[in-house]
């Protein structure tokens, strides 16, 4: 959802996938290698993610470089650090947690447990997904900041002339996106009781594709959190459903690419029609 908000604001973050791995690994290192309390580690990890997002946003708005380039650089920095730091502390490419870790039960119950509903078992992450969808929708539709997001992504110069704090808006969006990725990383390391150094790499493209399939314009200024959530559902159904439909799974990514291409074409067409309607 927060990747979609950033895209609506006219920017991209290609470091979100590797940030999932970074924060999961960092949580494990802080707990198992440095002996910190789990809740303290989670707080520090979220703070770290906020710092990375702040740096990304600051570099984008001050240098004028495309966010694609800035966050791609962050991607490579974090990817290398994940491997090097993990091997430095553990001697392997994996960090592990155990249920004996202090406060593990509390954190896992909140972030990585399963819930029973109508005779079926679901990950609690589904509830968090619904919560963040509602939160992001409220931000976009009910707050001044949501208006700033649309204005910044639609026409940044016009937004500045209208008094919208474009720089502050974009930096906050980068911070929110990075912290959201960290939240996912924390949930992963708790659920899997560990994290591989290469985990999360490449996931950022699924986030962007889900937002695009859900109606978010790649050029910014249009989209919704609900649409991004539905896009994620569609992508998940396609990714998981193809093997279950007894199709050759080797074609999975080809199919996902076609979905993305079709979604972008439709979004572009709808966006142009909407702009023509406004001019009239």
Q: Give the pLDDT confidence score for residue 279 in this predicted structure.
A: 54
Instruction: Give yes or no for residue 278 having a pLDDT over 60.
Output: no
Domain-located, residue 26: yes
- Give buried/exposed letters for 15-27 (b at 16+ CB in 10 A, else e): bbbbbbbbbbbbb
Domain-located, residue 77: yes
The H or E element containing residue 107 is: helix 104-111
Mean pLDDT score across all residues of the chain: 89
Q: Give the pLDDT confidence score for residue 242 in this predicted structure.
A: 76
Who wins on pLDDT, 255 or 58? 58
Class of residue 182 by CB neighbours under 10 A (exposed 0-12, middle 13-18, buried 19+): buried
Instruction: Give yes or no for residue 188 having a pLDDT over 90.
Output: yes
Domain-located, residue 115: yes
Lowest mean pLDDT among 66-70, 121-125, 185-189, 241-245: 241-245
How do residues 200-238 score in pLDDT, each as one tens digit? Answer: 888 888 899 899 888 888 888 888 999 999 989 888 887
Domain-located, residue 280: no
Q: Give the pLDDT confidence score for residue 277 in this predicted structure.
A: 59
Lowest mean pLDDT among 123-132, 174-183, 238-247: 238-247
Instruction: Give yes or no for residue 189 having a pLDDT over 90.
Output: yes
**Domains in the chain, number:** 1
CA 135 to chain centre: 15
How do residues 93-143 score in pLDDT, each as one tens digit? Answer: 899 888 778 788 899 899 988 888 777 888 899 999 999 999 999 999 999
| Domain coverage including residue 182 | 2-97+105-199
Radius of gyration of the chain (CA): 20
Domain-located, residue 155: yes
Q: Give the pLDDT confidence score for residue 104 in this predicted structure.
A: 87
Q: What contacts 54, CB < 8 A, 6 or more positions away?
A: 171, 174, 175
Among candidate residues 158, 180, 246, the one with its CA nearest the CA of residue 3: 180
Who wins on pLDDT, 222 or 165? 165
Q: What contacts 7, CB < 8 A, 6 or more positions away?
A: 153, 208, 211, 212, 216, 217, 218, 220, 223
How do residues 40-59 score in pLDDT, each as one tens digit? Answer: 999 999 999 999 999 999 99
How many CA atoms, within 13 angstroms, populate the side-chain half-sphere of residue 145?
A: 15
Domain-located, residue 17: yes
Domain-located, residue 217: no
Q: Give the pLDDT confidence score for residue 275 in this predicted structure.
A: 62
Domain-located, residue 72: yes
Q: Give the pLDDT confidence score for residue 253 in this predicted structure.
A: 81
Q: Band the pLDDT of 254: cuts 50, 70, 90.
A: confident
């Amino acid at each position: 959802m927060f990747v979609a908000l950033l895209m609506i604001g006219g920017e991209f973050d290609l470091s979100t996938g590797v940030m999932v791995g970074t924060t999961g690994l960092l949580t494990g290192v802080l707990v198992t290698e440095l002996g910190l309390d789990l809740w303290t580690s989670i707080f520090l990890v979220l703070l770290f993610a906020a710092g990375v997002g702040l740096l990304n946003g600051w570099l984008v708005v001050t240098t004028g470089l495309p966010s694609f380039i800035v966050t791609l650089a962050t991607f490579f920095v974090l990817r290398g650090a994940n491997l090097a730091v993990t091997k430095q502390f553990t001697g392997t490419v994996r960090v592990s947690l155990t249920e004996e870790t202090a406060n593990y039960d509390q954190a896992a119950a909140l972030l990585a447990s399963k819930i029973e509903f109508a005779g079926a078992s679901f990950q609690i992450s589904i509830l968090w997904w619904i919560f963040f969808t509602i939160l992001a929708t409220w931000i976009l539709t009910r707050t001044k900041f949501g208006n700033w997001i649309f204005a910044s992504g639609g026409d940044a110069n016009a937004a500045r002339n209208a008094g919208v704090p474009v720089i502050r808006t974009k930096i906050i969006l980068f911070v929110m996106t990075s912290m959201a990725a960290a939240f996912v990383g924390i949930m992963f390391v708790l659920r899997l009781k560990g994290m591989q150094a290469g985990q999360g790499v490449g996931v950022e493209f699924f986030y962007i594709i889900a937002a695009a399939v859900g109606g978010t314009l790649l050029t910014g200024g249009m989209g919704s959190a609900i649409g991004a959530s539905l896009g994620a559902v569609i992508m998940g159904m396609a990714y998981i459903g193809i093997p279950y439909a007894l199709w050759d799974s080797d074609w999975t990514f080809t199919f996902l690419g076609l979905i993305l291409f079709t979604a972008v074409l439709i979004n572009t067409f709808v966006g142009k029609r909407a702009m023509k309607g406004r001019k009239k």
